[in-house]
Amino acid sequence: MALTAVVRIPTRALLRPWARLRDSALGWMEPVGGVEVSTQRFGSQRVLVEPASAAGVAVMTFKNPPVNSLSLELLTELVINLEKLENDKTFRGVVLTSDCPGIFSAGLDLTEICGRNPAHYAEYWKAVQEMWLRLYLSNLMLVAAINGACPAGGCLMSLTCDYRVMADNPKYAIGLNETLLGIVAPFWFKDTLVNTIGHRASERALQLGLLFPPTEALQVGMVDRLVPEDQVQSTALSVLAQWMAIPDHARQLTKNMMRKPTADGLLKKRDEDIQNFVSFISRDSIQKSLQMYLAKLRQKKG
């Protein structure tokens, strides 16, 4: 068991909503005896949240082995934990990172969009939309500590952050590779990329399904900084420390001004987007492509 430290919690902390939550379906910890708890960490099964040593900062670690694919459960836990951090006014910044060695996130869980029924596709897509909207419009400062491969939905998640630090390891790549799977990145994936790297670079990257190695990702502006693998998280934390110097109110209004029009694009037609997704993903030809892609991934081991 990694969680052994006994820490003292100021009574004031017990008033925080997350501190009062029972060890429920999501596995939140309850303070014991009103003063002491048996762990510093909180969060849920697939999303660990740890207060960092710097005040006002938390590290959110995705823990959905083997590849941190964005299953319905992971998406749900991510959104709930983000909301708890936002409601707890002591937090201003969050580092998003991965517990899976060499992989930040493999993107959408292909088993959620392959071989299921339309009702499941609709429920899943709504959760993907929700994850994007919550992260993209979060008032918190978000920094992605990309410590591994970061394709498709994993890339999207990192693009919602305010800053990206990536491990300088040529084995890792980041990008929206949907076309390689025979599927199409929806307009709000595209908009997020365009807002980050510009129209021309996005057009090329999206059509070709480019997965950029770190050096190229830095050149094109998909990530902001490369550091040795063992410094990804510490660098993300020091970036956050710089951002924390900016008054929250002014920064939040500015972030909202920059991002709201893009988010509104989806908010105005969420249901239509869900219907489009369900009819696209239910096509026989798309299901066949996805099955072949999954089979190829599984064969790699054999």
The residues assigned a catalytic role are 108, 153, 177-178
Residues making up the chain, counted from first to last: 302
Q: Which two tokens stand for residue 19?
A: 């501190």
In this structure, the strands spanning 7-8 and 148-151 are unpaired
Q: How far is CA 77 from CA 25, 40, 195, 200, in A?
A: 10, 19, 27, 35
Nearest residue to ligand 8Z2, by Cβ distance, number only: 107
Contacting positions for ligand 8Z2 (CB under 6 A): 66-67, 69, 103, 106-111, 149, 151-153, 177-178, 181, 183-186, 276-277, 280-281, 294, 297-298, 300-301
**Residue 50 C-beta: closest distance to ligand 8Z2, Å:** 24
- What does the alpha-carbon distance between residue 97 and residue 237 come to, in Å, rounded to a whole number? 11
**Residue 268 C-beta: closest distance to ligand 8Z2, Å:** 16
**Residue 193 C-beta: closest distance to ligand 8Z2, Å:** 12
- What does the alpha-carbon distance between residue 127 and residue 73 come to, in Å, rounded to a whole number? 9
**Residue 216 C-beta: closest distance to ligand 8Z2, Å:** 17
In this structure, how many other beta carbons lie within 10 angstroms of the beta carbon of residue 65?
13
Closest to ligand 8Z2 by CB, 55 vs 295, is 295
Q: Which two tokens stand for residue 76?
A: 């749900």
Closest to ligand 8Z2 by CB, 98 vs 233, is 98
Our measurement of the distance from residue 159's CA atom to the centroid of its chain's CA atoms, rounded to an integer in Å, reads 9
Q: Evaluate the CA torsion angle 25, 27, 31, 33 in order and state its sign.
A: positive
- What does the alpha-carbon distance between residue 218 and residue 221 come to, in Å, rounded to a whole number? 5
User: Helix (H, G, I), strand (E, B), or coil: what is residue 264?
Assistant: helix
**Residue 274 dihedral angles phi and psi, to the nearest 5°:** -65, -45
**Residue 214 C-beta: closest distance to ligand 8Z2, Å:** 14
